[in-house]
A and B are shown apart, each in its own frame.
Chain A
Amino acid sequence: MSAILEASAVPTASRRFRPGRMLQRHPFPVVGGVLLGLLVLSALAAPWIAPHDPIEMNIIDRLQPPGGDYLFGTDAYGRDLFSRVLHGGRVSILIGFTVAAASTVIGLLIGVVAGYFRLADAIIMRVMDGLMAIPGILLAIALMSLTRASLWVVVVAITIPEIPRVVRLVRAVVLSVREQAYIQAATAIGTRFPRLMRLHILPSTFAPLIVQATYICASAVLTESYLSFLGVGTPPEIPSWGNIIAEGRLYVQLAFWNILFPGIALALMVLSVNVLGDGLRDALDPRLARRL
C-alpha cells in the first residue's frame, strides 16, 4: 500500500532502477537472469577458474568421488569433472546463442517475405508445414549423418528445425500489421518498401521474436546435449555437457556423479533461460501475462 502511495506521489521514484523491488515483483525472471549470468560468467572464465586441465588424463585418479582435490570427482580417464563441466558450459552457451540468433534472423527474413508477398506465402508455408512434420531431433540426426561432425555442423543441424516456428510467428505478425490503417497511410504517401519494412513492420515483430529466441536458446542447449548423448552430436573430444554425460553413462553404477553434475549444470542453464523467457514474455506482452 505504501509503495503505491509513494509511487503516485513521486512519479519519478518508480522509474529509478531498484533491484529489491524488481525482485519482489518478478522473483522468477530476476533469479533466472542472475543464474544465467553466473553460468555465462563461469563458462567464459573457465580457463582461469578451472582448477585442472579439462582434457588432461590422470589414470591413477580415475572415477574418484566428489570432494578433496576434485570438487565434482573425476571421470573414467581421471579428468577433473568440475573443470570439464566449466568448459562444457562454453560449448552449450555458444551453441544456444548461435542457434537462437541464426534461426531468428533467417526465420525473420523468410517470415517477412511470406507475410508480405501472397505468391511466395503459399510455397513458403507448405515447405514450413513439411519441415514441422519431421520431429526436430530426427531431422537434426539426419543432417548430422550427412557430413563429418563439427561444432558448426551441429549448429546448422539444430538451427534448421527451429526455423519454421519463427517463420510462422513473424508471418502472423506481418499479416496482422499490414492491414492496419497506418500501413495504408504510409503506402499512400509513397513510402518505399524497404523503409516501410524497417520503420513500420519490423518493429512489431521484435517483442515476440525476443521471447521466441530465448525459448529456442533453451531448446538448442537441450538438443545439443541429446545429440551428443546419442553419439551423433559434437565431436567426442570436445567436452560439451552432452559428451561428458555420454561418456559417464557407461559408469552409472560406479560413478553416477559423471552424469549428475553435467546434468544439473544443463538443467540449471535451460531452466534459467526458460524462466527468463517467461519473464520477458510477461513484461513485453501484458495481455498474455494475465493468461499464462
Chain B
Amino acid sequence: MGPYILRRVLATIPVMGVVAVIVFLMLRLSPGDPAAILAGDQATMADIAAIRERLGLDQPLLHQFVVWVGELLTGDLGKSIYLNRPVTGLILERVEPTLALSISTMIFAILFAVPMGVVAAWRAGSWVDQTIMGLSVLAFSVPVFLIGYGLVIGFALRLDLLPVQGFVSLWDNPVGFARHLVLPTMTLGLVYMALLARITRATMLDVLNEDFIRTARAKGLAEPRVLILHALKNASVPIVTTIGLGIALLIGGVVVTESVFAIPGIGRLTIEAVLQRDYPVIQGVILAVAGVYVLVNLAIDLTYSALDPRIRF
C-alpha cells in the first residue's frame, strides 16, 4: 500500500516537469523573435527590448529555465504583460465560474449517462440500445455552439425562462447563480453525456459477460440488483477512470461554452490573453489546468487503490 502510493505520487512529477518544459520551450522555439511576436505589429524597437528584458529572454536558455521553475515552485506564475498583475491572482479571480460549470456539467452528465449506458448494455442490440447509441453519436458530433445557441434562442429569447448569458457568483445570489448555469450546463452536458454513455455501455457489456453475473442470475436475484450491485459496481472503476481522463476534453468544451454564454471564466481569460499576446497568462493557465488534471487523476487512482485491494500498478 505505502510504496504504491509513494510511487503513484512521484509519477506526477515527471508529467508536470514535461508540461513545464513544453510551455517553456514553445515560446522560445517558435519561429522568429519571441519578444517581437509578443510585442505585436505596432511595436517599436524599444517596446521589443523592454519585453525581452521583462521576460528575461536575453538570458541564456538554461538560466531562464532554472529561474522560472524556481519561481513556479513558490506558486509564482509570473506577471501579465498587459495588465501588469500576478498571473496567479488573475487565474484565482476567474476560477469560480469555470469550476462551477465543470462540476455542474459533470453531475448532469453522470446522472443521465450512467443509467443510459447501463440500459443500453442490458438490452444490447435492441432498439433501445440502438436509439441511445445513435443519439449519443449525434450529440458528440454536433458543435457545442449549435446546441448552445439553440437553447438560448428557445429557452432564453423565445420563452424568456432563463438568462441569455453571463454569470452570477454563488456568494452574491444563489438563485441567480443556478439560473445562469442551467443553459451552459445543458449545452456542455449533452456532449459529455454522449461520451460517458458510450463508455458505460462498453464497460458494462464486458462485466455482464462475466461468470459471476451468470451465477447471480442463476441464484434468482432480481435483475435490477444484478445490474446495479453486481455489474455496475464492478464496472465503476474503468468508468470513473475514464471520467478522470475525460477532464481534458471537458475543459476544452468549457472554453467554448464560456464564450457562447459570455461567462467570465478561465476560458475567457485565455482568449483575452491570446488576443493581447499576453504569453505569461497563457503559460500560467496551461500549467494550472494541467496541474488540476494531474491531481484529479492522482486522487482517483489513490481512492481506488484504497477501495479495491486488487489494484496495484
Contact = CB atoms under 8 A, between A and B. Distances in A.
Interface in B141-156: 141-146, 149, 152-153
Contact of B145 (A130, A136, A259): A259
Contact of B14 (A126, A131, A132, A267): A126
A249 B14 contact: no
Given A142-B286, A146-B26, 14 more contacts: A126-B14, A129-B14, A129-B15, A133-B290, A138-B270, A141-B282, A142-B274, A145-B279, A146-B30, A231-B275, A249-B145, A263-B146, A271-B142, A274-B140
Nearest to A128: B18
Contact of A147 (B30, B285, B286): B30
Contacts of A225: 143
B248 A271 contact: no
B19 A134 contact: yes
Contacts of B205: 291-292
B255 interface: yes
Nearest to B247: A135
B37 A130 contact: no
A173 interface: no
Contacts, number: 150
Contacts of A267: 141-143, 146
B202 A291 contact: yes
Nearest to A272: B141
Chain B: interface secondary structure?
helix
From B31, B143, B285, B289, residue with most partner A Cβ within 10 Å: B143
Nearest to B21: A130
Contacts of A130: 14-19, 21-22, 290
Nearest to A133: B290
From B21, B22, B141, residue with most partner A Cβ within 10 Å: B141
Contacts of B271: 141, 230-232
Contacts of A291: 202, 205-206
A99 B293 CA distance: 25
A251 to B, nearest CB: 11
Interface string A237-257: 000000001000100110010
Nearest to A241: B143
A129 B26 contact: no
Interface residues of B, number: 58
Interface string A268-284: 00110011001000000
B307 to A, nearest CB: 24
A226 B256 contact: yes
From A135, A145, A260, A263, residue with most partner B Cβ within 10 Å: A145
A229 B145 contact: yes
B309 interface: no
B305 interface: no
Interface in A123-162: 126-127, 129-139, 141-147
Contact of B248 (A135, A218, A260, A275): A135
A222 interface: yes
A266 interface: yes
A230 B142 CA distance: 17
Given A133-B294, A134-B248, A229-B256, A266 B146 contact: yes
Given A147-B30, A253-B157, A292 B14 contact: no
Contacts of B277: 145
B146 A259 contact: yes
Contacts of A142: 23, 26, 274, 282-283, 286
8 contacts: A129-B18, A133-B19, A137-B251, A141-B271, A143-B26, A146-B27, A230-B256, A292-B201
Given A126-B14, A230-B259, A263-B143, A133 B293 contact: yes
A264 interface: yes
Contacts of A232: 271, 274-275
Interface string B283-303: 101100110011000000000
B2 interface: no
Interface string B241-252: 000000011011
